Chains A and B, each alone.
Chain A
Amino acid sequence: MAKAKVTFQDIDTTVNVPAGTRVIEISEKVGSGIIYGCREGDCGTCMMQVVEGWNNLTEPSVLEEKILKENMAGRHNRLACQAQVLGDIAVKPA
């Protein structure tokens, strides 16, 4: 299966993951400062900043777009509980 590198800049940690993994599944294991509330794309708590590889994540769903908008997301923000990794990315808590 295709592999991708996910770097959590806040803790200077990189994890090699199978493509399709959600960021949430990795960030909690390594202890990144990204925090979670509902875990289902509803609360916006897990907003993260995508520092590199913006296009290497799955497209946001309509629901994610809506929550991002309601939480005044910046240009490179995504929900870590929703976004799936397709290629190399670097992220940090928003």
Chain B
Amino acid sequence: MNSRDDLTTPGKAVEVAPGVHWIGAMDPDLRTFDIILKTANGTTYNSYLVRGDDGVAVIDTVKAGFQGEFFARLESVADYSEIRTIVLNHLEPDHSGALPELMRRAPQASLYISKRATSMLKALLKPNQGGFEYQRADTGDRIELGGRTLRFLHTPFLHWPDTQCTYLEEEGVLFSGDIFGCHYCDSRLFNDRAGDFRFSFDYYYAHIMRPFKSHVREALALIGPLKLNLVAPAHGPVLRDRPRRYVNRYRELSAPSIDAEMGEDERSFLIFYMSSYGNTARMAESVADGAESVAGVRISLYDLEGGEVEPFADLIEEADALAFGSPTINGDAVKPVWDLLSSLTVIDLRGKVGAAFGSYGWSGEAVSMVEDRLRGLKLRVPVQGKRIKLVPTEDELEECRSFGRQVAQALVGEGGASRVFDMADLG
């Protein structure tokens, strides 16, 4: 932890805006968060206390195990009997860990959670029995603290389905939860004092927010019009110096990168393949040919052997349809295909069209395994995958063209008349 210029003396709260105190906890030794995230210098669990004429609100708590530090800071600026309101911006344990004990110490307080959080509250607090009284907040709901107004913004999925932000109207302070946060532990606390946390900020976005890009855009639409003097996230530095820059950074990060190259009503269809003897490669060419013949579809063809996972994942994020070609090797699809398909968790794939094809020798499992994975990733797989035994004949290549055409048609919503099947024929 960076300790020069220490603002976070144990047992002391830090005023971050008039009548608003940081009462969080430092976790400098953390290196891995939620299994998926690395951090080179720990994290903080930021909790805030807002004082109004009629009482005090606490916004978010800390991870269990850091309660002592949190309560000591809280006690330095308020008495438990003054707490009227407790807000949880989302219920993840890193912010709700001290809630049961806080509710015990301030039993008169009302708990505000987002309208999506109800079932989670029950599931998370099972061990603590008793069930809390709580209020469900939605965008536009307000709490009066006496000369101070907290307003809620419903921002689902950033980071959990139940996420909300809380805005202190009079001071222009946004308590943004995980949004605009990062894992970076610095006792200088403020963005204009802390070390260089830009990488941590972008990295946090990439792993936590990116899978929910469209929700990020919706949240930015709510946050955009607010007057922002301070953004107070749940992890990492408190953003007091030109906080709008961090909002703009989210706007950049959540914007599509290649829309300039694509026509307004053009859809992007990516075809990836891997091939040892060229059989699946030839299939891929034909699939591309067939798809290309459908108006409004732009095809891109990639040999997985010639690329790396990350840039491909970026392309996939912007695409509308994906096809994967893999031969069957030892009863499975080939590793580069799985490597790519296992690296897409940070991307929102819902509703994209998926398809699989490949050459095989005798058993040919690859195609259906890839299709299953695509469905598992929430793609829609409207056309049954195409398998060809060993070397494709000219007729079989024609079948591949037709396969590509059908996938492309499903993408643009053609496919002629509506389809009618019998359950028994669906296999």
Contacts and interface: CB of A to CB of B under 8 A. Distances in A.
Contacts of B104: none
Given A29-B427, A32-B380, A33-B380, A15 B422 contact: yes
Interface in A1-55: 11-18, 21, 26, 28-33, 35
A11 B421 contact: no
Contact of A11 (B116, B382, B423): B382
A13 B381 contact: no
A14 B419 CA distance: 6
B420 interface: yes
Contact of A26 (B115, B382, B423): B423
A15 B380 contact: no
Nearest to A15: B421
Contacts of A70: 118-119
B418 interface: yes
B141 to A, nearest CB: 15
A30 B118 contact: no
B426 interface: yes
Interface string B385-426: 000000000000000000000000010010100111111001
A62 interface: no
Contacts of A13: 418-421
Chain B's interface size range is 20 to 34
B375 interface: yes
A11 B380 contact: yes
B146 interface: no
B126 interface: no
B420 A15 contact: yes
A14 B418 contact: yes
B215 interface: no
A70 B119 CA distance: 6
Given A21-B423, A30-B426, A12 B418 contact: yes
A16 B420 contact: yes
A64 B420 CA distance: 29
Contacts of B378: 35
Contacts of A16: 420-423
Given A11-B410, A31-B381, A72-B115, A26 B351 contact: no
A17 B418 CA distance: 17
Given A26-B426, A70-B118, A31 B380 contact: yes
B350 interface: yes
Nearest to B353: A31
Nearest to B380: A31
Nearest to A42: B119
Contacts of A18: 423
B230 to A, nearest CB: 32
Contacts of B382: 11, 30-31
A33 B381 CA distance: 9
Nearest to B379: A31
Contacts of A32: 380
The 5 closest A-B pairs by CB, nearest first: A31-B382, A12-B418, A29-B426, A31-B380, A70-B119
Interface of B: 115-116, 118-119, 350-351, 375, 378, 380-383, 410, 413, 415, 418-423, 426-427
6 contacts: A12-B413, A13-B419, A16-B421, A31-B381, A33-B351, A35-B350
